[in-house]
Each structure stands twice: as C-alpha cells, then as structure tokens.
Structure 1
Amino acid sequence: MKAPWTWRSPVPALLAVDLALVALAWWLAFWLRFNLDVPPEFAALGLRSTPLALVAYGVVLLALRVHRHVWKYTSLPELRRLAAAVGLGAALTAVSVLMVRLPQFPRSVLLLHPVLVVLLLGAVRAGWRSLVERTERLAGGARPLLVLGSLQDAAGALRALKGSSNWLPVGILTPLASERWRSLQDIAVVGTLSELAQAATRSGVHTALVASPVGSDARRQALQLAAEARITLLTLPRPDEFLRAEGSAGLRKIQLEDLLGRAPVALDAENLAEMFSGHVVAITGAGGSIGSELCRQVARLGVGRLVCIDISEYAIYQLEQELRQAHPQMQGVYYTANIRDEARLRAILDQHRPAVVFHAAAYKHVPLMEEHNEVEALRTNVLGTLNVARAAAACGARRFVMISTDKAVNPTNVMGASKRLAEMVVQAVAAREPRTDFVSVRFGNVLGSSGSVVPLFNAQIARGGPVTVTHPDIVRYFMTIPEAAQLVLQAGLMGRSGQIFVLDMGDAVKIVELARMLIRLHGKTEEEVPISYIGLRPGEKLFEELLANDETTEPTPHAKLRIAKTNGALLGVEEIVRWVDQAGPQPDARALRDWLQAQVPEYKPR
C-alpha cells in the first residue's frame, strides 16, 4: 500500500519549486521571443496564459510521479523521465493555449518554453545533488585531494574517485601550461605542477593523487615537489590490484615501480592456462621473492596441485598461510627440503610427478658469496641445480625452467660464474634427457626482492641515513617481481630444450637516482637523509650486461623475450660433481677460482 501524501512530505515543496521554475521559464520564453523587451500588450498576454502552463505541467508532473525522485540521487533514468514529463507538459500547454484562442499569441513561446523548463529543472536537480554529495562527503570525513596530471589523465582519475566517500577532489594541477584556468567535471585547474606547494597551502590539502602515466617525467617531478612540500602522494591501483581494492577508489601510496615505469607484460593466457590448469607444478625456492610470486601466478592459472619446496621453514610456513587464504580450493603441498639433498628431491618429485618444475632456489648475494662462502655457491647453485634437473627428468616432467641472472653474463664474481655454470649444467642435462624440455631464464635486479638494494635503502632511510651507494656511476636493470615471474612463465611455455632466455629489462637506472627517489618517497630530502659513496664491493661491476641485442641474441615471438646465443662444448657433469666433492668443506679460494675459470672461460675475477 502506497504511503499517502502529507504536507510534511517533501513532495509538495518540490512540486512548488518546479512550478515556480515552469513559470519562470514561461516568462523567459516571452523575454527571449521579443529580444529582451516584451511589449505591454504581450506582457498582459503572458500573465493571462501563465496559469494554463502551470496547470498543464502540474498535471503531467504529478501523473508521472516525477516528485517521488530523490534529488540527491538524480541520474540519467530520472532525467529521462523528467524530459518525458516536460514533453507531455509542453504538448498539453500548447493544446490549452490553442483552445483558449488567446489573440496574437506568439507560438514560438511554445517551442522555447519546454527547452527552458528542461534546463531549469535539470539544473536545479544536478546542482542539489552536487551540493548534497559534497556536504555529505565533508561531513563523513572525506579528505580534500589535489589531482596531478593533464586533463586527459585527470579524467580517468576523477571517474575512479566518483562516489568515493573517502576523498574529495578540490583542484587539478597540470604539467601543461596551456591547460591553466580550465576545468574538468566541475573541478578547476588551479595551476601547474610547479605550484604544488602553493596550491596545497591555499586549499589546506596534505594529499595528492598522481594521475600521470607510470614512469612519466610528470610523476618524477611530482615526487620531488611533494617531498619538498611534505605532501603525501597517492596513485590508483594497478590493474592486478583492482580486485583487492576496496570500492572504486582504493588509492594506495605511490611506490618505486610507479616511478620507474614498466609496460605491462602480455601473456599467452590461454596456452599458459592449458599448461598449468589441472596439472601438478613443483617450485623450488618457493618461499623466496621470485619463487613465491611464481606460486601466486601459477595458482591463479588453476594449477591442479602445487608442490612448494624451500629450505626455510619460516618462508614455507608464510607461503602456506598466504596461499591457503587466497586459494582455498587449490591443493598445495609444502616441503622443507634442501636442493643439495638429491635423494630427498627425488622422493618428493617421484611422489607427485609434476608436469612442470620451476627451479628458483639459489644463493644470489654477490659480496657474501665472494668471500668465505665460495664453495657454498658451487654446492647450491651448481650441484643443487643438477640435482633438481635430474630429479625433474627422472619423474617424467615435461618442462624444467631455471631462474638465472644477468650476473652470469661475462661474470666477474663467484655468484655470477656459478649461475653461468648452472646454465651450462642444465644444457648438458638437456642433451641427455630428450623427454624433458630444459630452459633457463636470465633477468636483472627485481624491485623489493629479499637481499636487494631497495629494502636496504628503505631501512637506511628509516634510520635517518646515510644511504650508502657504492659508486656515483653504478647502474642496474630493474623489473617488478610480478613482471619477472610472468616472463618466466611465458619463457617456460615457449622455450625449446637447451635454450637460455634473456628478458627485456628496459633502460638501466642509476643506483644513486634510485636512492634519491626512495628518499623522496619517504617524504624526506637529501639534506635530511644524505647519500654517501662507499666504493665498489668485491666482485661488483659498474654495469651489468644482459646481452639483449641482435649480435648476441635471437628474437622470439614475444617482444620482451630473446634467446641468448651460447657457444662451447657441453660439460661433463660427473667431473664437476667429483671436483666439488673432493674440494672439501673449505677449499683454497684461489684454487676454486682457477677451476671455475677453467669451466667458465668468460669468468674474469676481480
């Protein structure tokens, strides 16, 4: 049963407002018809005909229940019904005027009037909705926000913020001087990026949303200006984060990868899903940065059973807790095991018979492996890789993918040379085991991975500095952990046995510039957190090499993957095992390097 109208209801008041606007539109139509100067006789005519328009529109507005709409929720359906009501009201008014036969009535008024009515009634509803939304958002604790970016970039950000109860955009700062004094979605351009500090002070704003593209100069400029002005920078979630974002505007703090800029990886999702869906996949080093991301990516592709192997009890426990919560339907099996224990590896893989094995377990810290731990690099990176490769072949795996490194290219340190030797061992096993495709994938530094420079710099900044950089000219290639894992999957899909893939790492980044960006991301300046240079560490290069060029690599169908051209005879893996075993627990460092150089001729120790 419908509730009766009462004079305490807002409906009569809303009807009165609309009828007042109908009357105003009627007189505006006369005014416009006579070029803003209505003759007295036509003014009298307008006065006599006004009740006809009011009655006609009042009947139609009530009949179509236009006033049951709540103005603060006005949207396209309500505006369409309003337009239909105005059209019917205009027709009924015209019929009434013609029936009364008012002398010399200007018929153009009948055409102008409905247009003016739509404009006035629509404007008052849109204005009321905007006012209510702004008031409610402020009353609900919505924080004012500046949007940084060109109008084209800001348009997408404002759409994402639409309806957010947490943020209220109050102005746009553009990198383009030609866009000053313009507005977008009723949000004014209040200046250029260089005026961030002044605009924030005027608006009382302490937060800004960066709408410029990832990796753009505008983002880096915004970071520098925000650090100086003590402004917190936010950005919209990446596509892979939208599912985890709360609401339509799950903003997050800007991160280093948002500034460096990496184009999204195009994956052959259909064939990857076919390779993993319903199958068993095993991953060594599963608790590490790359290994755990491989686990996440494979789990999303519908793996039948995921066998996770890591030497660290705590790392494998953390991974188990994460994957059980994120993928409760997935069958996960979690092992603490050392890849140097071949019998244990074979027992695990023989039990589960994985179709694909990803080998991510390794020692990777250059200075640590360069002094006192050289034999550990050989035992884990070389013999451990041999154990996993043999176990994968023995259990009938279709594919084996080893994670390698750019430091294996013309290595100058034991860690890099051990990974190059591991690549050669994988190629030797590939020649003996034709039923399994053995592939290696090289890439450079991964942002935020354990033991990398970014967590170190973050810790140093948190302590107030100094941030220690080895050399002002040292450069490295960087990619994000998800990107690295996705390209490993893609290489595993398309690789042929014995191939070594090189990833497109983009442009090299100066480590000192990386340090400066991180300092600004923490809202600090170099005066507050200084940078100091400590010299190159043992075995460290100024420039890493990927050999990703036409002379040393071959292209593949994937733009970010190339195949390294390698030369040299296949190794005798038994001789390698015998030498490492006979070297004992503490071999002579010089003798170990000489032997390693004999196995890897391009190794040039420093």
Structure 2
Amino acid sequence: MVRKNVKPLAMLGFDGLMLSFALVLALGLRLGSYEGLLSTSVLACFLLTLASSGIIFLKLGLYRTVIRYMGQQAIVAVLQGVTASAVILAVTSFLTYAEIPRSVPLLYWCFALITVGGSRWLVRAYYQMALEIHKKRVAIYGAGTAGLQLYKALIHGEVYKPVAFFDDNVSKQQTLIDGVLVYNPSEILDVVRDRGIAEVLLAMPGVPRRRRREITKNLRENGLIVKVIPGLEELVDSAGRTEDESQLYENILGRAPVEPQRQLIEKSIRDKVVVVSGAGGSIGSELCRQIVRWDPRQLVMLESSEFALYQIQRELEQQQQDDGRHIPVIPLLCDVRDRSRVAEIIDAFGVQTIYHAAAYKHVPLVEQNVVLGAANNVLGTLSILEAAVAAEVEQFVMVSTDKAVRPTNVMGATKRFAELLCQDFGRRTKKTRVCMVRFGNVLGSSGSVIPLFTDQINAGGPVTVTHAKVTRFFMTITEASELVLQAGSMGRNGDVFVLDMGEPVRIYDLAKRLIQIMGHSVRDEDHPDGDIEIQVTGLRPGEKLYEELLMGDNVSGTDHPMIMRAEEERLNSSELELLVGELREACLAHDSETVHALLLKAVKGYQPQEGMTDIVWQQRAGREGAAEKPTAEIKRFEARTTF
C-alpha cells in the first residue's frame, strides 16, 4: 500500500513546488521586488492556497492519470484545478488581509497553468520521443472513425508510429488529422518510399468485404505488407461472441448437452490403470484430458504418431500443473496392429481399463487407401482386443461411429467389422467386459465441418458443402468422451451403446448459421452483396446424404437416461475367424480387391455407392474408367471367399 501511494505523493509535492514558484513569480513580476513576502499574512495566504489546491487536485483525479496517456480530460482537469487555485488565492488574500494586488491571482493562474500543465506535457513529449526511435512507421488506409480510433491507439503504444493516412474519399484528402496528412491512394507507392513506411494498416470495417479484399490484393501485388484491422465495435462484438460460439454447439445439437453420471465414470477409472489407444487423435486426446481428472492410478497413452503423442503429453503436464494433480502419465509409441507390443504394455503396467480410439476415420482418405484402412481399423482392433482378453483386462471399450450403420464407404464398413469382432469377444469372454460406443459427428474434432467452415470463412469464403440436403447427427467432443468413459461400467456381452442425439442437422443450415455468428452475411441469389458464398461441390466418394445410429428398432435403456443399448445382429465365431484369416492374408499381400470383397461379405448392409476408389489400385489399372472395374472383380472375389 505504501508503494502504491509513493508516486501520487511525489507528484503532489512537485505540484506544490510549481504552485509556489508560480505565486512567487507572479508577486515579483507585479510588485517589482520580493520585499514583504515573508510577512505573516502573506505566508498564511500562501499556505492556505497550497493546502486547498492540493486537496482540489486530489479530488479532480490529477494523480490517477497516467501522464504518458494524457488526453483531453486530463487537460480539462488541470485547467479546473489551476483556476480553482487562483480563486482560492484571491479569497485567502482577502481573508488574511495580505497585501496582494488584485492582478496577482490572474498572473498566478497563467504561471501555474504553464508550470503544472506544462511539466506534464514535457514528460509526455519526452516519453513519446523516446518511443519514436524504436517504433515501426506505418500508414493507415481509411481516415474515418475506425482509422482515427486506430491512430489514437497506436500513438500511445510502443510498436507503431502512424505517419500517413490514405482515403478514397476526395473530401478528406489533403486534410490533417492531428498533424498527419491524408493522401490520395494513387500516391501510396511514392509516400511509402519517401516516408519509410513499413506496413499499411487497412482500417475500413464499414466497407464491403469485397472492396476490402480488392484493396488488399492491389497493395500486396505492389509489394506492400498489409494488415486488415477490425473496427473497435467489431472487436467488442467478436469478444462478446465467445459465449455465442460456445452456445452455438447447443444450437446445432438442438438439445441440451448430455450430463455425465459421476458414479459410472468412477467405476471405470478411479484408482485404475487406464490405457487409451490413439491418444493423440481428437477423441483419444479428449479422453486423456477427461481421464486424468478422475484420478486413475496411471494413464498409459498409446499413439503411432510421435508428434501427436508429444503434443498431448505436454498438454497433460500443463493441465496437471494447473489443477495441482500428480497422475502418472505414460506416453508410449505403439501401432495397435503390433500384437506383441500391445500385449507387452498391458502386462507390464497391469492394465485394467482400455479405451480403444485408434482408427483411420476420414472417409475419403480411407476410401482411397482400402488395405491400410482395413488393417488399422479391423486387424488393429483385433490385435488389442486379443491382448486385452488374454490379460483379463476388466473393461474394453471401442470407439465406433454412426457410419458403421448400413455403411456406404470403406471406413464405415471397417468400423462395423471391428464392432462384429467386439460383439463376438464380448459374448465369449467372461472376465473382460467388452462394449462399443457409437456416435455421430463430433464438433471440433479434426476433419469435422466446424474447423473447416471456420477456416473457409476466415479466408473470405467460399464455404463448401457437398450437398444441400446432407444431414448429420452432432455431439460435442466432451459429450463423446464422457459417453465413452461411462460405457465401460454399463457394458456386458459385446453391447453397442448409442447416444440420444436429438434431430439430425442439415449441413447447409449449419454453414449459414456459422457465417452469421462469425459476423458475416451469406451471399446468394437473393443477397448478391453478401460476404460469404456457400458452394455445393457434390458428394465425395463413400459419402451418403443421411446417417443412422441404429440398424434396427431393438433398443433398450441403460443406467443413463440419454444412453441406449442397441441389440444388433452378430456373426458366429467360426465365420468371423475365416473372414479375419482371409483379411489378414489380403492385407499382407496388399490386395485391395480382396479386402473390398471381404468387407462386402462380412458387413451386412454394406452398399458402396460406386466402384472401388483405392488410388494405388486405380493407378495400376492404368486406364480411364478403372473405378468401374470393381463391380465384376468383386463378384469374382466373392466366389473366392465363400465359406
């Protein structure tokens, strides 16, 4: 508290000296000598004036103002304080019978204004001059309200020095703003060269986005560095939208987020050794973030990507430091297809719960890489599942997808095949509870539409939608992770759990809503002056218009009111064993045609929308129309794989 008051007290003392100097100077100038200044009445007048002035200066807030940021309000306060001090001098000279001429208060007012106000302006000017040496010289394009606000912000800052304005409005050109000239934009190259300008700051938030893009493009083509600066109101609006963007998810869902049940999560995690495969992915990383908050004995993270594993490890270290936790987090590089490596890890750490999130999930990529998609999603699941059952792990939860229901793409078919394996193991094993969690699109995950649309909007559009009628189920990444964590406690006999996700959302409507929330307007036939256009690009390979969560109507409730248990068709163990053997051989041989045929045979309801689009297969086919060939090939390989 003492340190806080030192600066105001020092300034008050300095002002006392300046007022004393002004008073002595005024008397000396008026009387021509300093005789009689030490008389009792004059000293009493001096002291009363100084004491009263100090109190008034404090009340006016002169010592709460940061001198280097002095503005109009501070000038008015100094003027009020000095005027009040001069009036007090006149009154006290009358009350104390001091022989002070009536013109002295007026002279005193002038000198006090110079000493008190001038000293402050000298300090401010010195500070500004010291900063000028290191500031980057910039020009502001736009001499309107936004440009003026930007200018005032920059002159008080420590980085930029505005030395020129440019504006398209002819009436503003050749005028001065605080001593800075407004130029015609046609002179910009000459002015930039002559004034040593490093950057041009575009401050025209009221101008249509199309015009701003045109200006920016022209300037950059001439080798200038251009930064687009939003207006003050736009900044305030965007800050206020943070809450709106978080509420956007609830608007998209069409329902309130599903709340977790604490006791269900604790059964699977608290004081247990937990493994998360695919720990660096969108779902896997969120699972890890949630798990460490539920006090496991250890968290073992399996990930094939070194960078992704490093990222989540660093994040969890910081998270635990912030939360004051000390949960052992073990990062391990591991490909889940390596059965011996997975078994070694499970045995070494005495794993009790496994959340299997490792998978290739991007539909077009898996469609174009059939063998690796099947090897990772099917054989990888089988590998970690066999190791878990052999080690008698208590719980095994597989993360699945709504694309596994009547799939139209390889990714969905491989995930359904993996579900069939989990169903079979769950039926046959008694000591490991095996289950699957199936949900729709996760908002904010890698490859989901929200980050994609956000990037496209920030780039000025267009926003691309594959079809105007495409709909999807959505859930938040937190919901998805909490659902997975709770499922282990409810699972038995290879159950499939699904979330009551409300109504599906039309992607086109989602794009429009996101454009509006980010402060823009949609450009279409009815609104040709809008900011962002939505383009329909056509369905991608393997993509379907509508997604489903269930294959049938056989659904029952669980311990959680918003989580359902689906009873779905299974394959018998002997048939699965033959299919898996064939699949393993086909993957080892990189035989994409056989892999595709086996997926068709194993997964009931798998209906590819077109022929196989595996890139390597098409390249080897070596001719146009290769994508039409698989229809005949699939029939041939179906005959080969008949049991």
- Coarse TM-score class (shorter-chain normalised): 0.5 to 0.7
Report if aligned partners of 1:235, 1:254 keep a CA contact under 8 Å in 2: no
What are the residue-to-residue correspondences of 1:398-417 with 2, within 5 Å?
398-417=394-413
User: In structure 1, what is the equivalent of residue 370 of structure 2?
Assistant: 374
Which AA in structure 1 matches 2:282? S
User: Quick one: structure 1 residues 233 and 254, their matched pair in 2 at CA, closer, same or farther if it must change by over 3 Å?
Assistant: farther
CA distance in 1 between counterparts of 2:518 and 2:350 reads 47
Secondary structure in 1 matching 2:532: coil
Report if aligned partners of 2:268, 2:488 keep a CA contact under 8 Å in 1: no
User: Displacement, 1:488?
Assistant: 1.3
Which AA in structure 2 matches 1:438? V
Is 2:518 the partner of 1:522? yes
User: Displacement, 1:596?
Assistant: 1.1
Is 2:328 the partner of 1:331? yes
Give per-residue Cα distances to partners, 1:51-82, cap 9 Å, x unaligned: xxxxxxxxxxxxxxxxxxxxxxxxxxxxxxxx
Q: Which moved more, 1:583-592 or 1:431-440?
A: 583-592
Is 2:362 the partner of 1:365? yes
User: In structure 2, what is the equivalent of residue 263 of structure 1?
Assistant: 256
State the TM-score, normalizing by the size of structure 2: 0.54
Specify which of 482, 490, 493 is matched with residue 494 of structure 1.
490
Secondary structure in 2 matching 1:232: helix
User: Quick one: structure 1 residues 582 and 509, their matched pair in 2 at CA, closer, same or farther if it must change by over 3 Å?
Assistant: same
Give per-residue Cα distances to partners, 1:403-422, cap 9 Å, x unaligned: 00000001111110110000
Q: Which structure 2 residue ranges, 5 or more long, are not aligned? A: 1-205, 207-232, 523-529, 610-643
Specify which of 563, 566, 569 is matched with residue 567 of structure 1.
569
User: In structure 2, what is the equivalent of residue 299 of structure 1?
Assistant: 292
User: In structure 2, what is the equivalent of residue 552 of structure 1?
Assistant: 554
CA distance in 1 between counterparts of 2:467 and 2:294 reads 42
User: Displacement, 1:571?
Assistant: 3.9
User: In structure 1, what is the equivalent of residue 237 of structure 2?
Assistant: 232
Specify which of 472, 479, 499 is matched with residue 475 of structure 2.
479
Q: Which moved more, 1:557-566 or 1:413-422?
A: 557-566
Is 2:587 the partner of 1:595? no
What are the residue-to-residue correspondences of 1:28-427 with 2, within 5 Å?
232=237, 254=246, 256-261=248-253, 262-327=255-320, 328-371=325-368, 373-427=369-423
Report if aligned partners of 2:304, 2:333 keep a CA contact under 8 Å in 1: yes
CA distance in 1 between counterparts of 2:459 and 2:588 reads 38
User: Quick one: structure 1 residues 253 and 233, their matched pair in 2 at CA, closer, same or farther if it must change by over 3 Å?
Assistant: farther
CA distance in 2 between counterparts of 1:591 and 1:548 reads 26
Specify which of 430, 434, 437 is matched with residue 434 of structure 1.
430
Which AA in structure 2 matches 1:354? V
User: Quick one: structure 1 residues 511 and 586, their matched pair in 2 at CA, closer, same or farther if it must change by over 3 Å?
Assistant: farther
Secondary structure in 2 matching 1:492: helix
User: Displacement, 1:586?
Assistant: 6.5
User: Displacement, 1:229?
Assistant: 8.6
Report if aligned partners of 2:420, 2:570 keep a CA contact under 8 Å in 1: no
Give per-residue Cα distances to partners, 1:96-123, cap 9 Å, x unaligned: xxxxxxxxxxxxxxxxxxxxxxxxxxxx
User: In structure 1, what is the equivalent of residue 501 of structure 2?
Assistant: 505
Which AA in structure 1 matches 2:304? I
CA distance in 2 between counterparts of 1:604 and 1:413 reads 8
Report if aligned partners of 1:445, 1:477 keep a CA contact under 8 Å in 2: yes
Give per-residue Cα distances to partners, 1:383-435, cap 9 Å, x unaligned: 00011111111222100000000000011111101100000011222233221
User: Quick one: structure 1 residues 591 and 276, their matched pair in 2 at CA, closer, same or farther if it must change by over 3 Å?
Assistant: closer
CA distance in 2 between counterparts of 1:236 and 1:329 reads 35
User: Displacement, 1:334?
Assistant: 0.5
Report if aligned partners of 1:234, 1:254 keep a CA contact under 8 Å in 2: no
User: Quick one: structure 1 residues 520 and 571, their matched pair in 2 at CA, closer, same or farther if it must change by over 3 Å?
Assistant: farther
CA distance in 2 between counterparts of 1:492 and 1:597 reads 30
Report if aligned partners of 1:375, 1:586 keep a CA contact under 8 Å in 2: no
Matched-pair identity in %? 45
Give per-residue Cα distances to partners, 1:342-368, cap 9 Å, x unaligned: 111111111111111000000111111
CA distance in 2 between counterparts of 1:329 and 1:565 reads 41
Secondary structure in 2 matching 1:309: strand
Report if aligned partners of 1:267, 1:490 keep a CA contact under 8 Å in 2: yes
Which AA in structure 2 matches 1:444? G
CA distance in 1 between counterparts of 2:347 and 2:397 reads 18
User: Quick one: structure 1 residues 460 and 563, their matched pair in 2 at CA, closer, same or farther if it must change by over 3 Å?
Assistant: same
Which AA in structure 1 matches 2:444? G
User: Quick one: structure 1 residues 592 and 362, their matched pair in 2 at CA, closer, same or farther if it must change by over 3 Å?
Assistant: same
User: Displacement, 1:590?
Assistant: 4.4
Report if aligned partners of 1:469, 1:512 keep a CA contact under 8 Å in 2: yes
Which AA in structure 1 matches 2:605? E
Report if aligned partners of 1:285, 1:361 keep a CA contact under 8 Å in 2: yes
User: Quick one: structure 1 residues 325 and 412, their matched pair in 2 at CA, closer, same or farther if it must change by over 3 Å?
Assistant: same
Which AA in structure 1 matches 2:413? A
User: Displacement, 1:593?
Assistant: 2.5
User: Displacement, 1:555?
Assistant: 2.0
CA distance in 2 between counterparts of 1:586 and 1:293 reads 35
Secondary structure in 2 matching 1:397: coil
CA distance in 1 between counterparts of 2:246 and 2:427 reads 47
CA distance in 2 between counterparts of 1:457 and 1:541 reads 19
Report if aligned partners of 2:472, 2:505 keep a CA contact under 8 Å in 1: yes
User: Quick one: structure 1 residues 512 and 563, their matched pair in 2 at CA, closer, same or farther if it must change by over 3 Å?
Assistant: same
CA distance in 2 between counterparts of 1:598 and 1:435 reads 31
CA RMSD, Structure 1 to Structure 2 (Å): 2.5
Report if aligned partners of 1:265, 1:486 keep a CA contact under 8 Å in 2: no
User: Displacement, 1:565?
Assistant: 1.7
Give aligned pairs, total: 366
User: Displacement, 1:581?
Assistant: 2.9
CA distance in 2 between counterparts of 1:253 and 1:428 reads 42
User: Displacement, 1:494?
Assistant: 1.2
CA distance in 2 between counterparts of 1:585 and 1:316 reads 27
What are the residue-to-residue correspondences of 1:434-453 with 2, within 5 Å?
434-453=430-449
Which AA in structure 1 matches 2:464? T
